[in-house]
C-alpha cells in the first residue's frame, strides 16, 4: 500500500468531479481512494474509471461518504452547497482535509463550516487558480489607488450549465475591490439590474453575469471613469487548472492545523 495521501472526490460524475479524478490519478503525489455520488445515481457501484468511459481504476463509486472519507487523507468537493455542508461534517468527523470548490454558498452556509474547521483543515475558494488569486490582490491594489470617480463592475462569463450567479470568483473579486476601498461588499454590491433601475450609485460595485455555450470561466474587473477605463482580466481555457489547484490545496492541507484557509494561504500570496 502506497503512503501517498489518499484522496476522495465527491460529485464524481460532474464536470469538475471527472476532471479531479483524472488529475489525482495522473499525479505522482496522491492516490485516488474514493469517488462519491448521491444515493440512486447510476454510477454508484460501478468502477469510476469505467463509468467515465475509460480504463478501470479499481475504485468503486459509493453513496456512503463517511465510509469513503474514513479511508482518506483529503476530500475534494466541487458539488452543491447542501451537499458540501453535509460533506464538511463528515470530513471533520473523519479528520480529513476538506477542499471546497463549491460556489453559490450563502453567508449562513459558510458560517456552518466554522465548527467543522475546529476539527479538520478546510480550504475553500471560489477559484483555485493561481491567476485568479493573484488577480484578487491586483484588484485590491487598483481599487485602493482609485477613488469613487471610478465605477467598479465585475463581469463574469460562464457556460450555459452554471447554476449560481454571481460566480464564486466574481464575489472574490468584488470582496477584493471592496477591501481596497475600505468598505463592506454587502453595503455596496449591486447584483442584478432590470427595469427602471435609476442611475448607478456612486461607490457601488456592480456584477454582471453572462451565461452561454461552453465558456469555462472568464472574469473582468472594470474600473470606469469619465474619459478612461481600466480592465483587469482572467480567462480560464482548461478546467484542469482548477483541479490542479484543488489537489495542491489537498496536499498543502496535510501539514496544517485544523482551521479554515483559502487559496491565498495555499499559494503563499
Q: Is 212 annotated as a binding residue?
A: no
Residue of 150, 157, 223, 242 that binds ligand NDP (CB under 6 A):
242
Tell me the closest approach of the beta carbon of residue 80 to ligand LZUJQKHR, in angstroms. 11
The alpha-carbon radius of gyration of the chain (Å, integer) is 19
Task: Check: CB of residue 37 under 8 Å from CB of residue 52.
Answer: no
**Annotated catalytic, 158?**
yes
One of 37, 156, 175, 262 touching ligand NDP (CB under 6 A): 37
| Identified catalytic residue from 22, 162, 234, 248 | 162
**Closest residue to ligand NDP, Cβ-based?**
14
- Answer yes or no: is 125 a known binding residue: yes
- 161 a catalytic residue: no
Among 80, 99, 121, 205, binds ligand NDP (CB under 6 A): 80
Phi, psi for 256 (deg, rounded to 5): -105, 160
The least distance separating ligand LZUJQKHR from the CB of residue 102, rounded to whole angstroms, comes to 9
Nearer to ligand LZUJQKHR, 180 or 217 (CB): 217
Interface residues with ligand LZUJQKHR (CB under 6 A) are 103, 126-127, 158, 162, 167-169, 217
Task: Please check if 14 is assigned to a binding site.
Answer: yes
Q: Of ligand LZUJQKHR, ligand NDP, none, which one sits near residue 253, judging by CB under 5 to 8 A according to partner kind?
A: none
Catalytic residues: 158, 162
Note the residues at the interface with ligand NDP (CB under 6 A): 10-11, 13-17, 36-38, 41, 78-80, 83, 101-104, 125-128, 168, 242
Q: Point out the annotated binding site for NAD(+).
A: 11-16, 37, 101-103, 125-128
Q: Point out the annotated binding site for NADP(+).
A: 38
Amino acid at each position: 500500500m502506497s503512503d501517498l495521501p489518499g484522496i476522495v472526490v465527491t460529485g464524481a460524475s460532474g464536470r469538475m468531479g471527472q476532471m479531479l479524478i483524472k488529475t489525482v490519478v495522473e499525479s505522482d503525489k496522491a492516490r485516488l481512494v474514493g469517488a462519491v455520488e448521491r444515493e440512486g445515481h447510476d454510477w454508484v457501484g460501478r468502477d469510476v474509471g469505467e463509468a467515465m468511459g475509460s480504463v478501470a481504476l479499481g475504485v468503486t463509486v459509493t453513496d456512503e461518504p463517511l465510509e469513503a472519507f474514513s479511508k482518506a487523507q483529503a476530500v475534494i468537493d466541487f458539488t452543491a452547497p447542501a451537499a458540501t455542508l453535509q460533506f464538511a461534517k463528515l470530513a471533520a468527523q473523519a479528520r480529513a482535509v476538506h477542499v471546497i470548490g463549491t460556489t453559490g454558498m450563502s453567508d449562513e452556509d459558510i458560517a456552518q463550516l466554522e465548527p467543522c474547521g475546529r476539527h479538520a483543515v478546510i480550504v475553500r475558494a471560489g477559484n483555485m487558480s493561481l491567476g485568479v488569486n493573484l488577480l484578487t490582490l491586483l484588484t485590491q491594489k487598483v481599487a485602493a489607488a482609485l477613488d469613487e470617480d471610478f465605477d467598479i463592475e465585475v463581469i463574469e462569463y460562464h457556460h450555459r450549465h452554471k447554476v449560481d450567479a454571481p460566480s464564486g470568483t466574481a464575489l472574490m473579486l468584488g470582496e477584493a475591490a471592496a477591501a481596497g476601498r475600505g468598505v463592506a461588499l454587502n453595503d455596496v454590491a449591486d447584483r442584478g439590474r432590470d427595469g427602471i433601475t435609476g442611475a448607478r450609485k456612486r461607490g457601488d460595485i456592480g456584477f454582471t453575469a453572462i451565461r452561454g455555450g461552453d465558456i469555462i470561466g472568464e472574469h473582468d474587473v472594470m474600473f470606469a471613469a469619465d474619459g478612461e477605463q481600466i480592465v483587469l482580466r482572467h480567462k480560464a481555457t482548461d478546467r484542469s487548472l482548477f483541479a490542479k489547484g484543488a489537489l495542491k490545496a489537498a496536499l498543502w492541507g496535510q501539514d496544517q492545523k485544523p482551521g479554515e484557509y483559502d487559496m491565498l494561504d495555499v499559494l503563499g500570496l
